[in-house]
Amino acid sequence: ALFWIAWAWVAETRADYAFAEKVFMKGIQKEAVPLKILKQRHKQFQRRMSRHWLNESQKDSAEEEIEENAGRSALGGLSEKRVRRNDRRQNGNHSRNRSTFTSRAPNYITST
């Protein structure tokens, strides 16, 4: 039984939970001695996995909520000062950018 328990533990520490489960099941199928200890450790493993998956799902939900809130705050984070500054840049840059472009462009682009 110690062989199967140790092998499952190695798999679990490497986050190969499916393989660890298979190892426990194989040891139980082979009726490893002492079988009672092997079954106890398997039950403990199953409890750890239940907690692990529960924590993972809660962490995923929390991360999704953070991402949703981050997106909303980005939309609402523009101050009135920045809006005015952005308007000035848009109004002033259009004519300047166009003249810069046409002065550098080859003749076949600027001629109509």
Instruction: Judge whether 32 and 1 are in contact, CB under 8 Å.
Output: yes
Instruction: Tell me the average pLDDT across 50-63.
Output: 84
Alpha helix ranges (H) inside the chain: 2-13, 17-29, 35-76, 80-104, 107-110
**Mean pLDDT for the stretch of residues 54-67:** 78
The 10s digit of each residue's pLDDT in 10-50 is 999 999 999 999 999 999 999 999 999 999 999 999 999 99
Is the model's pLDDT at 104 over the cut of 70? no
